[in-house]
């Protein structure tokens, strides 16, 4: 606070002075005092203007946050899809996720983006376009003797889709190319691949899974069964299962870990052109693909899926087994999910083909099975032998 007192004229109690010289001096004093008073007032004005004023406070609307504790199944999404005549697919309450929160749903979407320091250069397969392909193809019908192709599995509440898509596809290819129905172990790949493949139940890299088959091989499901096949369906269920430990020991006494290994010959990408993908599946069998998942995908029931509504959830890997065109002229891919049969169309789904819907045609991975360590049937003598070539 600044106080300024300006006084003009004779001060009370001052002696009376009558001489002219003294009067002149008094006038000069008054002039100086007036000048100083004006200066003081100027300084006071400057200080008053420069002093900080009280800040006005505005209420800021918080940024919207993902409702991770909310249920993934939402009636509003179901109504929005089913009321849209242009949707091309139907939504419903899938029992598989009836009690899942958004956070729990996001956890099972286990495809991790490949970090730059782990980027791998894999060969990419392309094919001459001279091969005449059928308008519709279903690997289950093309190779009916292969029971693994038509089997729907359940990854439970572990983010192991990257491992399921790879193991299922390689299992199918052992039957297609060698006539052997064998269920390979997701658990082996999930627990023993380690940092090369990512973070186990917290997600991994499909490319690395196929390289693991070449370098380390994978045992059968009989030798090392999947650790979490119960799922999470009851109210209040908390999916907190960690990645299983790598034991490198078969759970049954008559099987040896190293002898039970099944190997891949190679690991490769397939060119993202739809025709190349179709030829690869037509010639060699199912492939692993990954794509971007949004909230609406959890509600899929039937039809040709296209993303219409909902937030980004994560990356998911599945097995692609065929293609076709529906009655409305929409081209689609046919895929097997690993969310059990109480999700989607009895565990399967269709997604728009040829438009790279949700990145479904970007990352197609596969490999050929090897005869190394393989037990093969001798057709003439019905005997078994280890093939080491």
Residues tagged active-site: 161, 316, 337
Determine contact, residues 327/303, Cβ cutoff 8 Å: no
Residue 291 main-chain phi, psi, to 5 deg: -155, 170
Specify the 3-state DSSP secondary structure of 250: coil
And the tokens for 109? Answer: 């979407």
Helices (H), 96-199: 102-107, 139-142, 161-178, 186-192
Residue indicated by tokens 């919207």: 64
**197 φ/ψ angles, rounded to the nearest 5 degrees:** -100, -10
Radius of gyration, alpha carbons of the chain: 37
Residue of 148, 151, 200 whose CA lies nearest to 174: 148
Q: Alpha-carbon distance 91 to 345, whole Å?
A: 11
CA distances from 182 to 149, 175, 219, 289 (A): 11, 7, 10, 21
Residue 327 backbone zone (phi > 0: left; psi -120 to 50: alpha; other: beta): alpha
Select from 81, 142, 151 the least CA-distant residue to 298: 81
Query: Structure tokens of 93?
Result: 């309450």
Q: What is the dihedral of CA 371, 375, 380, 383, to 10 degrees?
A: 160
Residues forming beta bridges with residue 117, ordered by sequence position: none
Angle at which helices 206-215 and 161-178 cross, to 10°: 50
According to DSSP, the residues that pair with 325 across neighbouring strands are: 331
Do β-strands 287-294 and 363-366 pair in parallel, antiparallel, or remain unpaired? antiparallel
Q: In whole angstroms, what is the distance from residue 17 CA to residue 75 CA?
A: 101
């Amino acid at each position: 606070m600044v106080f300024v007192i300006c006084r003009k004229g004779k001060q009370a109690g001052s002696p009376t002075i009558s001489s002219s010289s003294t009067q002149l001096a008094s006038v000069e004093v008054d002039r100086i005092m007036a000048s100083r008073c004006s200066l003081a007032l100027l300084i006071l004005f400057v200080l008053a203007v420069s002093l900080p004023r009280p800040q006005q406070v505005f209420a800021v609307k918080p940024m919207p946050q993902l409702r991770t504790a909310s249920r993934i199944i939402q009636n509003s999404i179901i109504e929005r899809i089913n009321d849209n005549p242009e949707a091309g697919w139907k939504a419903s309450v899938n029992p598989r996720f009836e009690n899942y929160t958004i956070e729990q749903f996001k956890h099972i979407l286990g495809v991790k983006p490949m970090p730059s320091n782990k980027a791998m250069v894999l060969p990419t397969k392309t094919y001459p376009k001279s091969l005449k392909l059928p308008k519709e193809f279903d690997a289950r019908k093309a190779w009916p003797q292969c029971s693994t192709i038509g089997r729907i599995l359940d990854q439970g509440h572990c983010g192991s889709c990257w491992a399921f898509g790879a193991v299922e596809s390689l299992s199918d290819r052992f039957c297609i190319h060698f006539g052997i129905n064998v269920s390979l172990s997701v658990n082996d790949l999930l627990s023993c691949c380690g940092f090369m493949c990512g973070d186990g139940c917290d997600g991994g890299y499909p490319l690395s899974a196929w390289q693991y088959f070449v370098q380390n091989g994978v045992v059968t499901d009989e030798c090392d069964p999947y650790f979490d096949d119960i799922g999470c369906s009851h109210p209040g269920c908390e999916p907190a299962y960690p990645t299983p430990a790598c034991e490198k020991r078969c759970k049954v006494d008559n099987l040896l870990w190293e002898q039970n290994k099944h190997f891949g010959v190679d690991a490769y990408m397939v060119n993202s052109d739809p025709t190349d993908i179709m030829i690869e599946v037509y010639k060699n069998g199912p492939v692993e693909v990954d794509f971007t998942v949004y909230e609406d995908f959890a509600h899929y029931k039937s039809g040709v899926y296209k993303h219409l509504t909902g937030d980004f959830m994560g990356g998911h890997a599945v097995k692609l087994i065929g293609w076709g065109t529906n009655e409305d002229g929409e081209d689609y891919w046919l895929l097997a999910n690993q969310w059990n049969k109480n999700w989607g169309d009895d565990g399967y789904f269709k997604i728009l083909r040829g438009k790279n819907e949700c990145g479904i045609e970007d990352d197609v991975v596969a490999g050929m099975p090897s005869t190394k360590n393989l037990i093969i049937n001798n057709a003439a003598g019905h005997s078994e032998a280890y093939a080491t070539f």
